[in-house]
């Protein structure tokens, strides 16, 4: 009986070191794994033969023989990430090095049943892939981002959900009629958290990423890891009861929840009731720059309600940073009120080292987070070892 390969030194383990940037040469792999150079050469040669890795150029050296550079083959497949918002959808296609190759805004029918909705997503992915000259059969993974809690154990969207027909549905199963690629579903604020910490690792390993759009949600990075909670509902801060009066309804059923009082949707409703011509969060950003005192007051009140909730979260979790994303992160009055309230209400021991800032990624942060997560899955050592073992 052939001896079972140690997964710690398998081809997948070597691939993972190269993919994550921990090793960029055979010598570096040998040093990290602590195995014979001949073993590493066999693993690397196998990865090269299977078209997963290339060896070209040289690694910068401080002396001695220059080592050849190991890199993931960018064209050994690709991934697709779809971010679904309250009023739009964005589709990104990226290669295996995480380089974005295209971005589009497909039109999807949110009112369709699960099968038809998934079919429309698949059609958009195929169209975007073929426009790049990519074969849909080479697709390795799909990640769908939703503004709703996602139970990762069951792969289903929880309540409250933007698309009621998908609530409690195993979306990945519907994709089986179209592709054998991995399908992951993730909360949009979690994607923001992963994306922003990738863009600016200096903000620390305990981060609250707050998405401010028509809705409000939070993504949590705790001790460097994405924290989803037991059923995927960690960060659903929009459904906590706050002071104030609801301006819009919310499917959560909580009277005067934060989302119904201070979200982008609520702010739009308040401004429209006063005669302002606003229909989108981008309109809110635009009108916030006119220095209208009434608009400034509404944004300030909304920011204070949000800040009160975040101060409580900060006191509980003691983060190193609170980072804002989403369209309304561009509203200076709103963010200023949130920041002032957080620092006024958070304990000194919590606020003394706390950074409260707008993220660097803007609209790209969630796409970067989505690409990071799907590549982490499809290029994991387990998946690569299984692919290689399957011939």
Contacts of 324 by beta carbon, 8 Å cutoff, 6+ apart? 209, 210, 211, 212, 335, 338, 357, 358, 359
Q: Which two tokens stand for residue 342?
A: 């957080």
Q: What is the pLDDT of residue 3?
A: 52
pLDDT digits (tens, 9 = 90+) for 273-327: 999 999 999 999 999 999 899 999 999 999 999 999 999 999 999 999 999 999 9
- The arithmetic mean of pLDDT across residues 346-368, rounded, is 92
Query: Check: CATH 3.30.420.40 for 7-72?
Result: no
**If we measure between CA atoms, which residue out of 273, 259, 348 comes closest to residue 302?**
259
- pLDDT at residue 1 tops 50: no
Comparing 12-16, 76-80, 169-173, the range with the smallest average pLDDT is: 169-173
Residue 351 Cα distances to 64, 78, 311, 357, angstroms:
49, 42, 9, 13
CA distance 348 to 185: 38
**If we measure between CA atoms, which residue out of 149, 222, 219, 224 comes closest to residue 185?**
149
pLDDT bracket for residue 160 (50, 70, 90): low
Residue 155's CB is within 10 A of a number of other CB atoms, namely 16
- pLDDT at residue 151 tops 90: no
Backbone angles phi, psi at 70, to 5 degrees: -100, 130
Query: Check: CATH 3.30.420.40 for 78-191+367-389?
Result: yes
Look up tokens 């919590």; give the residue: 350
Q: What is the pLDDT of residue 387?
A: 92
The strand pairing partners of 69, in sequence order, are 56
Q: What is the pLDDT of residue 275?
A: 96
232: left (phi over 0), alpha (psi -120 to 50) or beta: left
The 3 state secondary structure assigned to 215-238 is CEEEEEEECCEEECCCCCCCCCHH
- 8 Å CB contact between 238 and 193: no
Mean pLDDT of the chain: 91
Angle, in degrees to the nearest 10, between helices 293-317 and 332-345: 40
Cite the beta strand spans of the chain per DSSP E: 53-58, 68-72, 78-84, 89-95, 100-104, 139-146, 150-151, 156-157, 182-187, 207-212, 216-222, 225-227, 321-325, 355-358
Q: What is the pLDDT of residue 2?
A: 46
pLDDT bracket for residue 39 (50, 70, 90): very high
Q: Which two tokens stand for residue 267?
A: 């702010």
**Topology alike, domains 78-191+367-389 and 201-359:** yes
- The domain 201-359: what is its CATH number? 3.30.420.40
CA distance 117 to 362: 27
Look up tokens 């790049």; give the residue: 132
Ordered by start, the domain boundaries in the chain are: 7-72, 78-191+367-389, 201-359
pLDDT digits (tens, 9 = 90+) for 221-246: 999 999 999 988 999 999 999 999 99
């Amino acid at each position: 009986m052939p001896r079972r390969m140690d997964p710690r030194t398998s081809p997948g383990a070597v691939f993972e070191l190269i993919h994550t940037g921990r090793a960029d040469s055979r010598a570096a792999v040998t040093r990290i794994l602590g195995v014979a150079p001949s073993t590493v050469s066999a693993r690397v040669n196998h990865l090269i033969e299977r078209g997963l890795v290339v060896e070209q150029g040289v690694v910068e050296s401080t002396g001695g023989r220059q080592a050849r550079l190991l890199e993931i083959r960018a064209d050994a497949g690709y991934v697709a990430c779809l971010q679904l918002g309250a009023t739009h959808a964005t589709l990104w296609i990226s290669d295996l090095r995480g380089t974005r190759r295209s971005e589009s805004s497909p039109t999807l029918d949110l009112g369709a049943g699960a099968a038809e909705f998934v079919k429309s997503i698949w059609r958009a992915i195929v169209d975007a892939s073929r426009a790049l000259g990519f074969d849909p059969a080479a697709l390795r993974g799909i990640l769908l981002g939703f503004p709703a809690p996602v139970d990762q154990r069951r792969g289903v969207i929880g309540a409250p959900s933007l698309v009621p027909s998908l609530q409690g549905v195993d979306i990945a199963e519907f994709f089986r009629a179209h592709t054998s690629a991995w399908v992951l579903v993730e909360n949009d604020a979690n994607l923001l958290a992963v994306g922003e910490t990738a863009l600016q690792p200096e903000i620390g390993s305990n981060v609250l990423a707050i998405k401010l759009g028509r809705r409000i949600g939070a993504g949590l990075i705790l001790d460097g890891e994405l924290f989803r909670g037991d059923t995927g509902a960690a960060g659903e801060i929009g459904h906590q009861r706050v002071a104030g009066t609801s301006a819009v309804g919310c499917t959560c059923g909580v009277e005067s929840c934060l989302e119904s009082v201070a979200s982008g949707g609520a702010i739009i409703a308040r401004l429209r009731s006063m005669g302002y011509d606003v229909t989108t969060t981008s309109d809110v950003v635009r009108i916030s720059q006119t220095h209208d005192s009434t608009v400034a007051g509404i944004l300030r009140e909304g920011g204070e309600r949000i800040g009160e909730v975040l101060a409580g979260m900060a006191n509980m979790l003691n983060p190193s940073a609170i980072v804002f994303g989403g369209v309304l992160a561009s509203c200076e009055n709103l963010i200023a009120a949130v920041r002032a309230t957080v620092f006024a209400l958070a304990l000194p021991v919590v606020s003394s080292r706390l950074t409260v800032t707008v993220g660097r990624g803007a609209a790209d942060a969630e796409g970067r987070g989505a690409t990071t997560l799907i590549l982490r899955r499809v290029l994991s050592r387990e998946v690569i070892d299984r692919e290689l073992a399957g011939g």
